[in-house]
Amino acid sequence: MISHPFPPLYDENSRILILGSFPSVKSREQLFFYGHPQNRFWKVVAAVFEKSVPQTIEEKKRFLLSNGIALWDVIASCEIEGSSDSSIKNVVPNDLSIILDNCDIKKIFVNGKTAEKYYKKYLRDTVGKDAVCLPSTSPANAAWSVERLTEEWKRILLR
């Protein structure tokens, strides 16, 4: 079993919660979200907000919090081979109450089908809210260009 090695990112101004499935090997090494250089998460969210792509972990934290975004993962611990979502077994879900009890989250999004699957299975009924599934920013989702991802991810903009 591998446990999630870093905490959620949020503050009292967070209005949007984006959930991944479980951190990749690179993210676990860096102790921060979307650490693999081929993952398009940072390019996509920067494009959505028409900002430059944050580079350092500190810049990434400031970018997310200044845009009202909380970031966490559906899975607290699991068995996983490398970074392969398809190998995930024996899932223990994260407790989202730490975020939901401290922020006025308006919408929950999941980054890809694996996060959606485990959110529906373990968290939706507890949370009492559906999550909007966005196409995965993972390099494994090669059919989606950054431009196409950005168009879909504009759904995170609260209107």
Please list the active-site residues: 39
The SS3 call for residue 71 is strand
* Residues contacting residue 38 through CB under 8 Å, at least 6 positions apart: 139
Environment class of 12 (CB within 10 Å of its CB; exposed 0-12, middle 13-18, buried 19+)? exposed
- Looking at the DSSP assignment, which residues form a beta bridge with residue 83? none
